[in-house]
Amino acid sequence: MQNGDQEVPSQPRHSDKAAGAYTLAEQIGYLLRQANQRHVAIFTSRMNEKLTTTQWAALVKLRDLQPCSQVNLGRETAMDVATIKGVVDRLAKRNLVRTAPDTTDARRLVLTLTEEGEAAVARNLPVANDISEETLSTLSSAERAMLAELLRKIS
Amino acid sequence: MQNGDQEVPSQPRHSDKAAGAYTLAEQIGYLLRQANQRHVAIFTSRMNEKLTTTQWAALVKLRDLQPCSQVNLGRETAMDVATIKGVVDRLAKRNLVRTAPDTTDARRLVLTLTEEGEAAVARNLPVANDISEETLSTLSSAERAMLAELLRKIS
DNA sequence: CTGAAATCATTTGTACACAAAACAAAGAAA
DNA sequence: TTTCTTTGTTTTGTGTACAAATGATTTCAG
């Protein structure tokens, strides 16, 4: 089978940058996953009381929004309904979040921070700042701002 | 309870940038999670045959490394041993990856792509390029390079 | 007012992600 | 060779993450 028409570029139905050069380590998805992994690792090792990144996000956001429905908290923290439910359930079990039916709208579940929840947020805010700081420690001030802007642009 | 000593800055045991201004949406962890979410959403909607980002990473990397042990593939794709096992198991069940005991080292599990696996990679490479392209579509060429470099720097 | 559409919550099922522990096999040091 | 250490794999348990379906409630249009 002699091949003679292999290199003829037909109309590109796909973006073929350099045709065939697909390096996993250069793909944006891989880079995002890696960077996120490192951040989570830093977070996990630094955050004292076994709070996950998502749990922390929910607590911090709830502090600003409370009282707040579960779905709304999910929206504000970029979590799926099923995900936010799991997160809230675990936080409620640990007595950091209080849940109560809404007296006005029977569909809603009203969330508030407990005393303990408020305290946990207050106590860990400096830690959270340190975590962000360490994650970005290899970047200059300008680079940090640039990274934040670029991430926002693609979100 | 009158408060009079609230604003006195004691020695900062933590990095307090503007003391108390912690905005979730500005934190690097949140931005990374958001950007990754959007990329995964694009990937999921575009990739035809129900391949996940991780499964795709494993397939592509295995193509270059095969034959290759399971743990090694995990290392090369930044996956935990438990994670890579799950991914490989699912790919093997779908006949995209073949597993066999290593004749030299009885500990190792040797992985190779099946014919079907090779075909799946070849068939979807253009799609994968499109996915990366769409993820970065709001950025200029220079911005893409900058983002990649910054992500690498913090990884 | 009533039926359709939208919203909120829950459940189910699949798939990462990682810590920790257990075990077998290989390699190195004594 | 025998012991110690390292390496590869598997298993268990917890916690995101999301699609899809279900049911209850509210809102809105007619």
Q: Name the residue among A154, A152, A75, A112 with its Cα closest to residue B30.
A: A152
C-alpha distance from B91 to closest chain A C-alpha (Å): 18
A146 has a pLDDT exceeding 50: yes
Mean model confidence pLDDT for chain A: 90
pLDDT score, position A15: 55
Domain with A75, as residue range(s), is 31-153
Question: DSSP letters along A66-90, please?
Answer: -SEEHHHHHHHTT--HHHHHHHHHH
Considering the domain boundaries, does residue B23 fall inside one? no
Considering the domain boundaries, does residue A20 fall inside one? no
Task: Enumerate the nucleotides of strand D whose atoms come under 7 Å of any protein CB.
Answer: 7-13, 15-21, 23-27
Query: Residue B7: CA atoms inside 13 Å, Cβ hemisphere, count?
Result: 2
pLDDT score, position A48: 80
- Give the pLDDT band of residue A19 (cuts 50, 70, 90): low
Q: Which amino acid is at A129?
A: N
Tokens of A141: 């001030």
Considering the domain boundaries, does residue B22 fall inside one? no
Considering the domain boundaries, does residue B3 fall inside one? no
Considering the domain boundaries, does residue B39 fall inside one? yes
| Neighbouring C-beta atoms of residue A31, cutoff 10 Å | 23
Q: Could you report the per-residue pLDDT of A37-84, keeping only the tens digit for each? A: 999 999 999 998 899 999 999 999 999 999 999 999 999 999 999 999
- Give the pLDDT band of residue A4 (cuts 50, 70, 90): very low
| CATH number of the domain to which A144 belongs | 1.10.10.10
Which helix or strand (DSSP H or E) is residue A101 part of? strand A97-101
pLDDT score, position B13: 54
What mean pLDDT do residues A131-146 have?
Answer: 96
What b-and-e string marks burial along B63-75, b requiring 16 or more CB atoms within 10 Å of the CB?
beebebbbebbbe
How many Å does it take to go from CA A47 to C1' C28? 39
**Going along chain B, which residue ranges are E strands?**
68-69, 97-101, 109-113
Considering the domain boundaries, does residue A95 fall inside one? yes
Smallest CA–C1' distance to C26, residue? B105
- Give bridge partners of residue B68 from the DSSP assignment: B111
What mean pLDDT do residues A115-136 have?
Answer: 96
Considering the domain boundaries, does residue A11 fall inside one? no
Structural domain count of chain A:
1
What mean pLDDT do residues A98-111 have?
Answer: 95
What b-and-e string marks burial along B25-47, b requiring 16 or more CB atoms within 10 Å of the CB?
eebbbbbbbbbbebbbebbeeeb
pLDDT tens digits in sequence order for chain B, 155 residues long: 333 333 344 455 555 555 568 999 999 999 999 999 999 999 999 998 899 999 999 999 999 999 999 999 999 999 999 999 999 999 999 999 999 999 999 999 999 999 999 999 999 999 999 999 999 999 999 999 999 999 999 99
What mean pLDDT do residues A14-34 have?
Answer: 82
C-alpha distance from B126 to closest chain A C-alpha (Å): 6
Q: What ipTM does this complex have?
A: 0.88
| Per-residue DSSP letter, B25 | G
Tell me the backbone φ, ψ of residue A82, rounded to 5 degrees: -70, -35
Considering the domain boundaries, does residue B4 fall inside one? no
